[in-house]
Amino acid sequence: MSTGFFGDIERIPYAGPDSTDPLTFRYYQPDEMVLGKRLEEHLRFAACYWHSFAWPGSDPFGGQTFERPWFGESLDDARLKADVAFEMFTALGVPYFCFHDLDMRPDGNSFAENTRNLQVMTDYLGEKMDASGVKLLWGTANLFSHRRFMSGAATNPDPDVFAYSAATVKTCMDATQKLKGENYVLWGGREGYETLLNTDLKRELDQMGRFLNMVVEYKHKIGYEGAILIEPKPQEPTKHQYDFDVATVYGFLQRFGLENEVKVNIEQGHAILAGHSFEHELALANALGIFGSIDMNRNDYQSGWDTDQFPNNVPEMALAYYQVLQGGGFASGGTNFDSKLRRQSIEADDLLIGHIGGMDCCARGLKAAAAMIEDKALSSPLEERYAGWNEETSARMLDGSMGLEGIEAHVLKNDINPQPRSGRQEKLENIVNRYV
Amino acid sequence: MSTGFFGDIERIPYAGPDSTDPLTFRYYQPDEMVLGKRLEEHLRFAACYWHSFAWPGSDPFGGQTFERPWFGESLDDARLKADVAFEMFTALGVPYFCFHDLDMRPDGNSFAENTRNLQVMTDYLGEKMDASGVKLLWGTANLFSHRRFMSGAATNPDPDVFAYSAATVKTCMDATQKLKGENYVLWGGREGYETLLNTDLKRELDQMGRFLNMVVEYKHKIGYEGAILIEPKPQEPTKHQYDFDVATVYGFLQRFGLENEVKVNIEQGHAILAGHSFEHELALANALGIFGSIDMNRNDYQSGWDTDQFPNNVPEMALAYYQVLQGGGFASGGTNFDSKLRRQSIEADDLLIGHIGGMDCCARGLKAAAAMIEDKALSSPLEERYAGWNEETSARMLDGSMGLEGIEAHVLKNDINPQPRSGRQEKLENIVNRYV
Amino acid sequence: MSTGFFGDIERIPYAGPDSTDPLTFRYYQPDEMVLGKRLEEHLRFAACYWHSFAWPGSDPFGGQTFERPWFGESLDDARLKADVAFEMFTALGVPYFCFHDLDMRPDGNSFAENTRNLQVMTDYLGEKMDASGVKLLWGTANLFSHRRFMSGAATNPDPDVFAYSAATVKTCMDATQKLKGENYVLWGGREGYETLLNTDLKRELDQMGRFLNMVVEYKHKIGYEGAILIEPKPQEPTKHQYDFDVATVYGFLQRFGLENEVKVNIEQGHAILAGHSFEHELALANALGIFGSIDMNRNDYQSGWDTDQFPNNVPEMALAYYQVLQGGGFASGGTNFDSKLRRQSIEADDLLIGHIGGMDCCARGLKAAAAMIEDKALSSPLEERYAGWNEETSARMLDGSMGLEGIEAHVLKNDINPQPRSGRQEKLENIVNRYV
Amino acid sequence: MSTGFFGDIERIPYAGPDSTDPLTFRYYQPDEMVLGKRLEEHLRFAACYWHSFAWPGSDPFGGQTFERPWFGESLDDARLKADVAFEMFTALGVPYFCFHDLDMRPDGNSFAENTRNLQVMTDYLGEKMDASGVKLLWGTANLFSHRRFMSGAATNPDPDVFAYSAATVKTCMDATQKLKGENYVLWGGREGYETLLNTDLKRELDQMGRFLNMVVEYKHKIGYEGAILIEPKPQEPTKHQYDFDVATVYGFLQRFGLENEVKVNIEQGHAILAGHSFEHELALANALGIFGSIDMNRNDYQSGWDTDQFPNNVPEMALAYYQVLQGGGFASGGTNFDSKLRRQSIEADDLLIGHIGGMDCCARGLKAAAAMIEDKALSSPLEERYAGWNEETSARMLDGSMGLEGIEAHVLKNDINPQPRSGRQEKLENIVNRYV
Ligand SMILES: [Co+2]
Ligand SMILES: [Co+2]
Ligand SMILES: [Co+2]
Ligand SMILES: [Co+2]
Ligand SMILES: [Co+2]
Ligand SMILES: [Co+2]
Ligand SMILES: [Co+2]
Ligand SMILES: [Co+2]
C-alpha cells in the first residue's frame, strides 16, 4: 500500500559504473566485502527526517518551494510523512534513519501535548521500523526552532527554558531508547550568543555543563546503551556557538568530567565553517578518543553559511573515510546524510537522486580509503618519517626522564645541528590520486 | 649619546585631545587615575623588538623596504639595534618591551654559538634596562624562522629538532629570568601541519604536551616566578596550528595537566583569523581562568592573513579592555604591540607615530571600559537578565539535586511554558556608544 | 488616533550627548548646520518597511519570534501595518521610507490580484505620506521570495517568469512614480545561480541586460524623474549573484550601454560579503560616476551571511560618509536603514531604539567626516603625495603624447632611479582618530 | 652535458594508470587524441621560472629552505639556473615555459644595467629554446618585488616610478617578442592600495588605464602578434588590488576602450580569493569574450592567502576544463603551473613530482570534460531547461520589440502564473560523477 509519492518505487538496484539510469547505484553494493567487512556495515548509512520531509525549501530570502501532501500539523499529516519517509529509506536501502522530535510529531501548545504527540508517533515509527527493518541511528530534540529557545536552551538566561529543555530531552531520550536508537545526539544551535553585551559566558558554560551531566546521568539511570554525541558547529544560527569545533568540545567535556562519556558527531560543513578540513576534525577526534559519528553533507566553499549539500567530491571523501578507518571505523556511529536538496530540486525523485549520488560517492571514497590502508600507501611513509623517535634517546625525551637541562647537555655534547628533510607533500598527494 | 636615528628625540609629551602634533599623546597620561590605579599600571604597555627592529619590510611578493643602519649579523649591529630600540622605548614611555632570541642576537652556526651570542646580548640589554628603567614583559624563543624548524619545533618528526628546540627554550628562559621578565611566551608558529598526509597528529600533540611540561618543570626548578603563556593562532605560517584558539589551548592544557600552570597571550589578529571577536577570546579566557596577556595589534578585516597592524578602532578596543577589566585587569600580563608598520612606512618617525596612535587608542578604550564598569552600564542589565537563576528551584537545577526526571515533573506540575524576553542588543549597543 | 503599538509615542527629541534616556537622540539634530547644509538634508534618512514590519524574526533554524498584530494577509492587516509604520517614521523624524510591493500589500493568487492590492495600498500610503510629510526614498519589487522566482526573475530559464517579473516591475515603477519616490531600486536576489551545471551564464546576463534596458526605457516613457539604482550583493540567497559588487555592476552597465542611466545603492554588509570595505565601494562608485544611495546597515565581521544589523561603529561610518561627502553628497539618494532588529529584540520599543542608535551614529560619522573635509585633514597630504604628477613631463606620460619608447628614452637619459617615500598610513590613521 | 641537479634525468615516460613509480606519468600521453586534437595541443602546458627556480622557500615567518647552487646574482648563476630549468622543462615534456625579467636575469643597480642583463639572458634563453624545442608561453615584468614599487608601478603616486615601470615593460615586451612568446602578461601585484586614506582611487585607475593603453599601442607598433593578458587577483600583497577579478577587469577594459585588445589569465587560487569558483571565472570570461589563458594552481580552501599549490582535485579540474573547452579551448593561451612546491619539499625530485602530479590531474580533468562534451551530458539538459526561450513571444521580449507595458498586457491577457520546475542540481552532479 504505497503512498504513491514516489510513483512505482522499487528498491534502487546496483547497476554498475556504466549505468546511466539516475535511479541506480553505480558503486554502492551493500554486500561487497572491503577489509573483511560488508560495505553496508562499514558505511552504516542513515537518512534524516528533517531536511527531506520537514523543511519546506525556505531560505532567508524566500519561502516554501516544496509542495508535500503531508505539510500540516495534524497526526494524520505526521503519519503520512512517516509513510513516505520509510518508503524512501526502504527504496534507498539505508539501514538507518535519524530524527528530531519536531520533525516527526505535530507541534502542540504545551509540553504535555508535545510529549503525547511524541509518544504516539514513536509507536507509529516503531511499527514502520519493525515492518521495514530500518533502524534508528540517532534521535535528538529540536531545541532551536521555537521562539521559546531564541536565547538558548540549556544556556538560556531564563531557568524556565532550561527546565523545559531538560524535560524535552528526557522525552526524546525515552523515545530513542524505545526505538533502540544507537546514539542520542545534542546539537546546540542556540547554545551560544548574538552579542557578548547581554551574555554571561561563564555562567552559560556552567549551565551547559550541568545540562550535559544530567543527560549522562539519565542515560545511566535508564540503562540506555547508545552513545551520547555532541555535534559541533561554530556559528549559525547564532554569531558564536559554544560547541565551536572538536577541540572546543573536547575542552568542554574535560572541564565537566565528561570526556569518557560523550563523543562527537562531526559534519563536513561544520568543519569548514570552523576553518578546518573535515579530515582534520576526524583525525583530531580520533587522537582525542572522542570520535563518534559523521554527518556526510558538505558546504559550498564559496558560501559563508551551512549549505548542507549532498556530498559529491570523491577525493575529499576518500580522505575523510581514511581517517574514519584509521580510527577503527564506526562503532555506534554511522554515515548520516544531514543533507538537503537544493530548494529548486522540487521533484519527488530528486530526493532519491540526491541520496543515491551521495551514497555512491561514499562507497567510492570508502573503497579508495580501504585500498590505501591495505597498501600502507600513506602509513609506510608516515612511519618512516617519524622513525627517529624509535631510538632510545628520543624516547627518553618523551617519557619524562630528560628535562630541558638534560636535553641541552645532549645537544651540546653531540653538537646537534638538525638538517631538514623533505616533507614530500606533492609525492603523497600523487599517491592519493592513484586511489581516487 | 643618542644614535641619532630618531633625530633629536625627547620623551613624547602628553598634549591633550586638541593637539595636532603627531609626536604627542592626545589621550595617554601615564599618571591619570582610573578605577583607583594609574593608567600606566592598567595598560602595562610593551613594545616589541621583532617587527620594529628586525623585520625588513618584506612580504610574500616583495623584499626589504626599510633601510636600517643595524641590519647585519654582527654583535655591533645587534648593539646598535638595542641602542635604537631603547631610545624608542624611552621616548614612548612604554614601561616594558618583549623579544625573541633571534631578534636581539646575531644568528650563529651552532647552538653553542647562538647561546654565546644570546648571553652577550642579554647582558647588554640588562645594562640598557638598568639605565632606562624599561622592563621586560616577556621573552620568547624564535622556533619558526630557521629552516631547521620548517617541519615543527616540539612537533618535528625529527627528534633532533625537538632536542634543539628544547635546549633553545632553556637558554631563552634563562635569559628571561636574568632580565626579570614577567612572563615567558611560547608561540608555536610551526607547531602544526601543511598536510595531514605526512602528519601523525596524535603523536605530535603528545610531543607538544611533553615539551610544555618540560618548560613548566624547568620554571619550577629554577624558581622562575613569571607566568608561562601560550599565544594561540589558528594558521599562518602553517595550514593548521595546534594552538588554534583559546578553547583549543584550554583543552590541550587540561589533557596534559597544565591548566593551572599555563595561561594565554591573546592577540586580536589571531582571534579574528580563528573566526572569533577579540572580546570573545578574552571573555573565554577569563571564564576558563587562563587569561594572561594581550597583543593589541589588529588584523585587516578584508585580509585573510596576519596583518599585525597598529590598533585604531576605539569602540572595538573599549570592548576588549572591558573584558580585561572585568577579569580583574592584568596580573603579570600587559598590552603588547606585536604591531608592525605598513611596509611603506619607511621613515624613522613612523615607528614613533604608529606606537603613539596605538597607545592613545588604548588609553581611550580603557577609560571608556572603566567608565562602563563604574556605571554598571552593562553589568546591571546583565544581572537583571539572569535574575531568574537566583531563585531556589533554579539553583537546584544546577547544583545536582535535580535530574532530568525531576525537572520533567516540575515542568508538568507547573505547566511551564516559557515566554521569551527581548535580548535588548540594540539598546546595549547604544549604551556602549555613550562611552566611546 | 494612534494604534497604540508604541504606547504613548511622541516625536523622539534631541537631548544631547549626556542623555541616558534610550528614547532620545544624543547626536542627531536635524537642523544643525554642517558644511552649509542642514544635517537632515545631508543624511536623508529612510527607514524600511520589510525588516521592521514584514519580517517575522525567522532565520534558517528558527521561526517567528515577533508577534505583531498586523501579521496576516488581509487588506486590513496591510493598513494596520502602514499605520504603525508611519507612527514609527514620524516618531523618529526620518524624512523618507522605502518599500517592496510584497511588504505593503497582501499577496494574491494572480498578477492581476497583486496589482489591485498594490494599487489599493499605494493610495493608502499616499494618504499617510500626505498626512505625515514622510516621503518615499525608493520603491522596489520583491522578485525573490515567492517560489515562482526560485530560479531567477529576469534571468529565469522560463520566459514566463521573465514576463511576470517585467510586468511586476512596471506596476512597482508606477506605484513609485505615483508616490513621488525619488529612486527606483533593483536588487537581484535570485539573479544568479546555485550551480553552473544548470546555468547558461551568458544567456542569463543577456536577459538581465535586456530587462534593465526595458526599465530605463519605461522610466523615460512615463517621464519618471527618479534615479534607477542597482543594489549589488555578491551572494546569498544564491551561491553567486550577477550584481556581485560595484565594479561588476559597472562592467555590466557598460556592456548594455547603461552606465549613464543607472547608479548603485551600496550596502555596507554587501560590500563586506564581497571582500571589500564599505568605503572602497563608495570610493569606487564615485570614481566611476555611478554613486547613488546607501543602505547603512552593517554585517557582523565574524558571520558569513547578511546580518543586516543597525550600524554602530562610528569610526567606520565616518570613513563611509567621508567618501559620500567627497563625492558631493547625496543627490536623489539617501541613508537607508536596511536594518533588522536581532530576532531576540521582540519589544516594540526595540524598533525605535535600533533606529535611534543608527541615526545617532550616522550623525556622529557625518559630522566627523565634514570636519575632516573642512580641515583638509586628509586631502592636503593626499595632494602632496601625488604632487609629482603636476609637473609637465608627468602630465605628458598620461595625456598620450608619450609612449613606452619615449618613456624609456626619458628614463635612460635622466637615469631615473626612483626612491620610495613613506606612505604614512599610521600617521593618517592617527589623524582620523582626532575626529572620531 | 647535464648539470646533474636532477641526477640522471631522462624524459619522464608515460607508464599507465597502474604505475607506482613517482617519476612516470599515469594519465598524460601527449599524443593521445581527444576531440580530434592531441592532448598536448589541448593542454598547452607551461612551467614557470619563478616559483621553481627563483623562490627560496621563504614565507612571512621563515627564510630560505631550498638550497640551490644557482642562488646568487651573477650572470653565471643566471645561466646555471637556466640550464637546470630547461632540464626540467625537457624532462617533463612541457612545450612551454613562462618568466618574469627578475626571475632570469641578475638584478642590477640601474635601469640600464637591468636592461643589459635582460638582453644577455634573453639571448641565452633563446639558445636553450632552440636546442630544446621548448617555447615561451608568456613573458612578464616583475613590478612588485623591488622596494621602488612598494606603492605601485603604473599606479604609483610618483611619476618616476610610472616611467621606470613603463620602460621596464617595454624591455620585457621586446624580450618576449624576440623569444616568440605567445602572450605578454601583466599582473598588478602592487596596483592597489593598503589604505584609502593615502590613495586617490580615480587618479590611480586613470594612470593604470593609460599605462595599459601604452602597452597595446606598443604591441601594435612593433607588430607583436601575441595576446596581451591581465591576471586578476583581488588582494595580496596589497589589501585591495584593482584587477580584482574577471568582472572587474572587464569593466576596466571597457572604460579604457580595451575590451577587444586585452584578455585575462585566470588563476584558480585568485578566483578563490575573490570569492568565486574557478569555473565561474572561466565561464564569465568566455561569456564576455575575454578568456585568454589559465594558471592551474590551486589555493588551500582553509588558508586566506595565495598558496599556489600544485592542483590535485580532478573533479574540480574537470569542471574547469569543461569551461575551457566549451569556450573553444585555448588560442594563444595554455595551462601554466604558477605553482610552488611546499617549502618543506626541498629535494630536487620534488620539483619533478609536483609537476607530474599536476599534469596527470590536468590530463584526467580534460579527458573527463571532453567526454562530457561528446556525450552532451550537461549541454542537453541545459538546452532543454532554456527551451522556452526558443518560442516566438519569448524571443520578442529579448529583441527589443516588447517593453514593460507590452509584457504586462501579455501577462494579463494570458493570466500568466509561472510554475517552477526542478533545477535538477543533484542529478547533474551525479552525471558529472560518471565522468570523474
Ligand atoms: Co549543517
Ligand atoms: Co549535522
Ligand atoms: Co599576529
Ligand atoms: Co602576537
Ligand atoms: Co543586506
Ligand atoms: Co540593502
Ligand atoms: Co597565485
Ligand atoms: Co598566477
Residue C2: CB atoms within 10 A of its CB come to 12
Grid-cell match 564615485, residue found: C286
Rounded distance between C-alpha atoms, residue C384 and residue C387, angstroms: 5
Catalytic residue among A42, A51, A100, A276: A100
DSSP states of B274-342 as a string?
A: TT--HHHHHHHHHHHT-EEEEE--BPPTT-BS---BPP--HHHHHHHHHHHHHTTS-SS--EEE-----
Same domain, D393 and D370: no
C103 labelled catalytic: yes
Kindly state the percentage of chain A with pLDDT values over 90. Answer: 99
Same domain, B205 and B281: yes
In a domain, D310, yes or no: yes
3-state secondary structure of B38: strand
Q: What is the mean pLDDT of residues A405-431?
A: 98
* D344-393 pLDDT per residue, tens: 999 999 999 999 999 999 999 999 999 999 999 999 999 999 999 999 98
Indicate the angle between helix axes B201-222 and B246-255, nearest 10 degrees: 80
Which among C59, C86, C56, C87 has a CA at the least distance from the CA of C69?
Answer: C56
Same domain, D394 and D367: no
Has residue D1 got a pLDDT over 80?
no
Same domain, B265 and B394: no
Which among C235, C240, C303, C315 has a CA at the least distance from the CA of C270?
Answer: C235
In a domain, A386, yes or no: no
Q: Tell me how close the Cα of B160 comes to any Cα of chain A, in angstroms.
A: 6
Q: Tell me how close the Cα of D171 comes to any Cα of chain B, in angstroms.
A: 21
Last residue of a domain, one of B327, B343, B374: B374
Has residue A1 got a pLDDT over 90?
no
What confidence score (pLDDT) does residue B102 get?
98
Cell numbers describing residue B238: 602553517
Please identify every stretch of chain B with a pLDDT value under 70, giving residue numbers as ranges: 1
CB D317 within 8 A of CB D361: yes
Tell the burial category of A392 from Cβ atoms under 10 Å away from its Cβ (0-12, 13-18, 19+).
exposed
- Across the interface, which of C111, C210, C391 has its CB nearest the CB of D398? C210
Amino acid (one-letter) located at D155: T
Give contacts of D213 with chain C, Cβ < 8 Å.
400
Ligand 6 midpoint to CA C226 (Å): 18
- The answer to whether C243 is a known ligand-binding residue is no
Same domain, C331 and C427: no
Q: What is the mean pLDDT of residues A32-40?
A: 98
CATH number for position B271? 3.20.20.150
DSSP states of B168-192 as a string?
A: HHHHHHHHHHHTT-SEEEE--TTSE
Rounded distance between C-alpha atoms, residue D325 and residue D381, angstroms: 18
Has residue A137 got a pLDDT over 90?
yes
Rounded distance between C-alpha atoms, residue C189 and residue C242, angstroms: 9
Radius of gyration of chain C from its Cα atoms, rounded to whole angstroms:
24
Same domain, D278 and D427: no
Last residue of a domain, one of C343, C374, C405: C374
Cell numbers describing residue C164: 511576470
* Alpha-carbon distance values, C402 to B280, C398, D166, D255 (Å): 56, 8, 11, 20
The number of C-beta contacts closer than 8 angstroms across A and C is 96
Same domain, D128 and D265: yes
What confidence score (pLDDT) does residue B28 get?
98
Query: Could you tell me the pLDDT band of residue C154, with boundaries at 50, 70 and 90?
Result: very high
Strand partners, A337: A47
Strand partners, C227: C183
In a domain, A244, yes or no: yes
Cell numbers describing residue B116: 654565546
3-state secondary structure of D429: helix
Give contacts of C420 with chain B, Cβ < 8 Å.
65, 344, 346
Rounded distance between C-alpha atoms, residue C197 and residue D378, angstroms: 7
Rounded distance between C-alpha atoms, residue A219 and residue B126, angstroms: 61
CB A126 within 8 A of CB A118: no
Helix H or strand E encompassing C378 = none
Rounded distance between C-alpha atoms, residue A89 and residue A69, angstroms: 18
Q: Is A152 left (phi over 0), alpha (psi -120 to 50) or beta?
A: left
Ligand 8 midpoint to CA D295 (Å): 5
Rounded distance between C-alpha atoms, residue D359 and residue C122, angstroms: 63
What confidence score (pLDDT) does residue C360 get?
98
Residue A14: CB atoms within 10 A of its CB come to 18
What confidence score (pLDDT) does residue A105 get?
98
In a domain, B112, yes or no: yes
Catalytic residues of B: 100, 103
Same domain, A284 and A367: yes
What confidence score (pLDDT) does residue A117 get?
98
In a domain, A421, yes or no: yes
Residue D54 per-residue DSSP state: I
In a domain, C385, yes or no: no
CB contact under 8 A, A59 and C62: no
CB A164 within 8 A of CB A141: no
Mean pLDDT of chain D: 98
CB A153 within 8 A of CB A144: yes
Which among C73, C45, C71, C47 has a CA at the least distance from the CA of C57?
Answer: C71
Length of chain A: 436
Beta-carbon-side half-sphere exposure of residue B49 (alpha carbons within 13 Å): 27
Cell numbers describing residue B80: 646598535
Q: What is the mean pLDDT of residues C166-173?
A: 98
Radius of gyration of chain A from its Cα atoms, rounded to whole angstroms:
24
Rounded distance between C-alpha atoms, residue A176 and residue B331, angstroms: 50
Has residue C391 got a pLDDT over 90?
yes
Has residue D314 got a pLDDT over 80?
yes
Residue A50 per-residue DSSP state: I
Give contacts of D251 with chain C, Cβ < 8 Å.
247-248, 250-252, 254, 288
Query: Could you tell me the pLDDT band of residue D266, with boundaries at 50, 70 and 90?
Result: very high
Name which of A169, A177, A195, A239 to mutate to probe chain B: the one with the most chain B Cβ atoms within 10 A of its Cβ.
A195
What confidence score (pLDDT) does residue B280 get?
98
Sign of the Cα torsion A382, A384, A385, A386 reads positive
Same domain, D336 and D402: no
Rounded distance between C-alpha atoms, residue A165 and residue A160, angstroms: 8
> ipTM of this predicted complex?
0.98
CB D159 within 8 A of CB D203: no
Same domain, B313 and B427: no
CB contact under 8 A, B411 and A164: yes
Ranges of H-type helices in C39-191: 39-43, 49, 75-92, 101-104, 111-132, 159-178
Sign of the Cα torsion C274, C278, C283, C289 reads positive
Cα-Cα-Cα-Cα torsion B389, B391, B397, B398, nearest 10 degrees, comes to: 50
Cα-Cα-Cα-Cα torsion A340, A343, A344, A346, nearest 10 degrees, comes to: 70
Rounded distance between C-alpha atoms, residue D14 and residue D23, angstroms: 9
Grid-cell match 621613515, residue found: B347
Domain count of the fold of chain B: 2
Cell numbers describing residue D183: 602572450
Domain that holds residue B394: 390-432
Same domain, B139 and B201: yes
Strand partners, A62: A59
| Cβ-based neighbours of D151, under 8 Å, separated by 6 or more | B344, C420, C421, C423, D157, D158, D161, D190
Q: What is the mean pLDDT of residues A110-138?
A: 98
Closest ligand (CA of A267): 2
Amino acid (one-letter) located at B303: S
Has residue D312 got a pLDDT over 80?
yes
State the greatest distance between any 2 C-alpha atoms of chain C, in Å, as a whole number. Answer: 83
State the greatest distance between any 2 C-alpha atoms of chain B, in Å, as a whole number. Answer: 83
In a domain, A382, yes or no: no
Give contacts of B237 with chain D, Cβ < 8 Å.
59-62
* C413-435 pLDDT per residue, tens: 999 999 999 999 999 999 999 99
DSSP states of D143-184 as a string?
A: -SSSGGGTT-STT-SSHHHHHHHHHHHHHHHHHHHHTT-SEE
- Across the interface, which of D57, D151, D304 has its CB nearest the CB of B344? D151
- Across the interface, which of A276, A344, A353 has its CB nearest the CB of D430? A353
3-state secondary structure of C374: helix
CB B59 within 8 A of CB B107: no
3-state secondary structure of A126: helix
- Helices and strands of chain B, counted as H and E runs: 16, 12
What confidence score (pLDDT) does residue B15 get?
98
Rounded distance between C-alpha atoms, residue D370 and residue D322, angstroms: 7
Closest ligand (CA of C274): 5
In a domain, C305, yes or no: yes
Q: Identify the chains in contact with D, defined as 3+ C-beta pairs within 8 A.
A: A, B, C
* C206-263 pLDDT per residue, tens: 999 999 999 999 999 999 999 999 999 999 999 999 999 999 999 999 999 999 999 9
Residues tagged in the binding site annotation of D for Mg(2+): 231, 267, 270, 295, 306, 308, 338
Closest ligand (CA of C140): 6
Has residue C1 got a pLDDT over 90?
no
CB D64 within 8 A of CB D57: yes
Kindly state the percentage of chain D with pLDDT values over 70. Answer: 100
Rounded distance between C-alpha atoms, residue A189 and residue D246, angstroms: 38
Same domain, A226 and A144: yes
Give contacts of C111 with chain D, Cβ < 8 Å.
411-412, 415-417
